[in-house]
Amino acid sequence: MALLVILVLASMAQVSYCGGAAIDYGKALSKSILFLEAQRSGVLPGNQRVAWRANSGLLDGKANGVDLTGGYYDAGDNVKFGLPMAFTVTMMAWSVLEYGEQMGAAGELGHAVEAIKWGTDYFVKAHPEANVLYGEVGDGDTDHNCWQRPEDMTTSRQAYRLDAQHPGSDLAGETAAAMATASLVFRRSNPGYANQLLQHSKQLFDFADKYRGRYDVSIPVARSYYGSVSGYGVSKLSSDDKMNILWRHILFWSTSNSCVMSMQDELLWAAAWLFQATADGKYLDYLANNADALGGTGWSTGQFGWDIKYPGVQVLAAKILLQGKAGAHGAVLRRYRQKADFFACSCLGKQGGSGDVQRTPGGLMYHQRWNNLQFVTSASFLLAAYSDSLAAASGAAVQCSSGAAAPSELLAFAKSQVDYILGSNPRGTSYMVGYGYTYPQEAHHRGASIVSFKSNPAFVSCHDGYSSWYGRKGSNPNLLDGAIVGGPDEHDDFADERNNYQQTEATTYNSAPFMGVLARLAAGHGGRGRFGRSFPDELATAATERDNKTSVLPAADDGKHASPVAIEQNATRSWTEKGRTYRRYAVTVTNRSASKTVHELHIGIAKLYGPVWGLDKARYGYVLPGAAPSVPAGGSVMFVYVHAAPPANVWVTGYKLV
């Protein structure tokens, strides 16, 4: 009987159940990698498995005198956007580093490594000189006015580049991260290629750090589609959508220096991966010495994606700490870890107040109506990876405002999100095309929605694509197998219609992190990640106390606390009017650092039912008044508010310490 129980538990570890139907994580893993083959540009290889695709973009870069064939189309269009492509490759590589052994057991490691190399081969071409990086081929404006197979493209294929006069620290930094991470994947199996990638990565990091600037200023055609504003995930949104999403869901924003802020996370992200790839202490020094100035230990968010890397940086830093590799930087890395805990607690719903990520009635994390699942797949991977790192460190727990969370709780929550995506949801719908009994049939995707070039090579014009195929009712003629679409809205509702691009368009960066967490779940209880401990052989914030009188957030810059900024509230006056007791609260914000100045301080206030004086309302919270407000070392500022209620919840959303 005991043996039977063990066997049953072992088999259950690899599947979950929804309405009696088993969820096969291994099958979903296979399909998630397959989707990336449908997104390939260039000359397709002989082992291409998505048979309805053919060669495309064969003249990319020619007008610029450089070969830019290859790479990936980002979504349902035919543009090669550099920033989301680089994030896709970084997350595919991290997935392999973390769970490559599990992918090997599922028979998918070779396919995953090929998918990574398809991206890095392109990046090598796109980086022909130390301080030159081609960041985009094609443009969204002409492409979105055309519904055409990639094999028929007649839209602009102009290439756009970054250089010393036209910098892009965010894009160069993310590409550096992708190549550093990928170099680890190829370190044993192809050391020459790994060295090549590492050389490109180092040059790109130096370029990103030396020539500071935002890539969508240098490449303005990218701004409406993948604008770099660190954390808002506002690709392809109207201005009204952007404002609504940012106000509801984003936990930080730098109003006084958004151009600088937008590239800070990528610089830290690249440095973290270069340290992992090289073990060179100068990159760890960079990560630690710039933790305050670049916001790594100052910003808290529950969102991780192609434009917001802070949680990824924070988890990587926490992993370095947990593995005993912090060296002299233990204090700073502990502060990074506290922010990693904030991310995990926010996802779990244990942070409290407005720090928790919203959920749908069915339990799905919800950030925005346009492609919400991009944040769910990324968060699920990050939670799984962090869970395994904590478990390996003798089961260290995450510290949340409402109490500790064990590593198993992180993994269980990640699994719940994966299960929802694969069909365990109120609609019983799988949001992975081709998986399950009910899945999207009308994905918003040019190539999938038009008859295959191989079946009918007759030219399809932009106009013909719209008139004959875009508005056509019924399933797409080509199965976009493995694609993760945008997903349901905040009410768990979903409309499977081709023109409903907010919900039915799929992207590469939805799938890349999903690969990793699917491999983890497919392996069951024995599938703990190995990155940072050993490689597979085949791969060469303490809780804030609040009461009716005083609220204090202790802090110091010795690394023992989450922030050098302290907040203290006191009720200084009360009176009764029309049967209600009003109180005046004075809030003192103190910079406890001994030598550094707090800049760009952002204050969050929840449960406020009256006016506030001494702060300016910003788009995403409150800031100190003035053009360039700051709090010097040892200094304090004060604001007051009045309402007929207990003290409001007041916290530090973000800051820079310089």
Please list, residue by residue across 168-179, b when 16 or more beta carbons sit within 10 angstroms of its beta carbon and e when fewer do. bbbbbbbbbbbb
Q: For 177-217, how does the pLDDT look when each residue is reduced to its tens digit (9 = 90+)?
A: 999 999 999 999 999 999 999 999 999 999 999 999 999 99
Please list, residue by residue across 209-222, b when 16 or more beta carbons sit within 10 angstroms of its beta carbon and e when fewer do. bebebbbbbbbebb
Q: What's the per-residue H, E or C state across 162-222? A: EECCECCHHHHHHHHHHHHHHHHHCCCCCHHHHHHHHHHHHHHHHHHHHCCCCHHHHCHHH
Q: Are strands 621-623 and 580-591 parallel, antiparallel or unpaired?
A: unpaired
Q: Which of 24, 77, 266, 409 is catalytic?
A: 77
Instruction: Look up residue 492 and give its two tokens.
Output: 């768990």
Residue with token string 């014009």: 461
pLDDT band, very low/low/confident/very high, at 532 (cuts 50, 70, 90): low
Cα of first residue to Cα of last residue in the chain, in angstroms, is 64
Does the annotation count 496 as an active-site position? Answer: yes
Cα–Cα distance measured from residue 557 to residue 564, given in angstroms and rounded to the nearest whole number: 5
Q: Which residues contact 244 (CB under 8 A, 6 or more apart)?
A: none
Q: For 431-477, how does the pLDDT look when each residue is reduced to its tens digit (9 = 90+)?
A: 999 999 999 999 999 999 999 999 999 999 999 999 999 999 999 99
Q: Which residues contact 502 (CB under 8 A, 6 or more apart)?
A: 369, 370, 371, 486
Helices 25-38, 82-105: inter-axial angle, 10-degree rounding:
140
Q: What's the per-residue H, E or C state across 246-263? A: HHHHCCCCCCCCHHHHHH
Pair 72, 506: CB distance under 8 Å: no
Note if the pTM is more than 0.85. Answer: no
Q: Which of 206, 241, 464, 496 is catalytic?
A: 496
Task: List, as one string, the DSSP characters of 544-567.
Answer: PEE-SSEEE----TTSSSS-SEEE
Helix (H) or strand (E) holding 99: helix 82-105
What is the average per-residue pLDDT within 532-547?
35
pLDDT of residue 354: 75
pLDDT of residue 613: 79
Does the annotation count 505 as an active-site position? Answer: yes
Selected residue with higher pLDDT from 528 and 436: 436
Q: Which of 505, 599, 602, 643 is catalytic?
A: 505
Phi, psi of 291 (to 5 degrees): -60, -40
What is the average per-residue pLDDT within 532-555?
34
Residue with token string 């191989």: 454
Please list, residue by residue across 16-47, b when 16 or more beta carbons sit within 10 angstroms of its beta carbon and e when fewer do. bebeebebbbbbbbbbbbbbbbbbbbbebeee
Q: How far is CA 445 from the centre of its chain?
A: 22
pLDDT band, very low/low/confident/very high, at 233 (cuts 50, 70, 90): very low
Query: In DSSP terms, which residues pair with 551 in a beta bridge?
Result: 546, 569
pLDDT band, very low/low/confident/very high, at 290 (cuts 50, 70, 90): very high
Cα–Cα distance measured from residue 275 to residue 202, given in angstroms and rounded to the nearest whole number: 11
Instruction: Look up residue 457 and give its two tokens.
Output: 């090579």
Does the annotation count 77 as an active-site position? Answer: yes
CA proximity to 169, closest of 314, 294, 285 = 294
Cα–Cα distance measured from residue 356 to residue 555, given in angstroms and rounded to the nearest whole number: 22
Q: Which residues contact 9 (CB under 8 A, 6 or more apart)?
A: none
pLDDT of residue 246: 39
Cα–Cα distance measured from residue 179 to residue 199, given in angstroms and rounded to the nearest whole number: 9
pLDDT of residue 556: 34
CA proximity to 88, closest of 380, 405, 374, 444 = 374
User: If you ran DSSP here, which 8-state letter would residue 151 be given?
Assistant: G
Pair 599, 627: CB distance under 8 Å: no
pLDDT of residue 457: 96
pLDDT band, very low/low/confident/very high, at 531 (cuts 50, 70, 90): low
What is the average per-residue pLDDT within 619-634?
74
pLDDT of residue 527: 62
Selected residue with higher pLDDT from 20 and 615: 615
Q: For 569-624, how does the pLDDT look when each residue is reduced to its tens digit (9 = 90+)?
A: 988 888 888 888 888 888 888 888 888 888 878 788 878 888 887 888 875 578 88
Cα–Cα distance measured from residue 32 to residue 230, given in angstroms and rounded to the nearest whole number: 26
Selected residue with higher pLDDT from 17 and 408: 408
SS3 438: coil
Measured CA distances, 567 to 354, 555, 586, 591 (Å): 17, 9, 10, 9
pLDDT of residue 627: 59
Measured CA distances, 169 to 163, 509, 517 (Å): 10, 20, 29
Q: Per-residue pLDDT for 337 more than 70?
A: yes
pLDDT of residue 576: 82
Q: Which of 111, 200, 367, 444 is catalytic?
A: 444
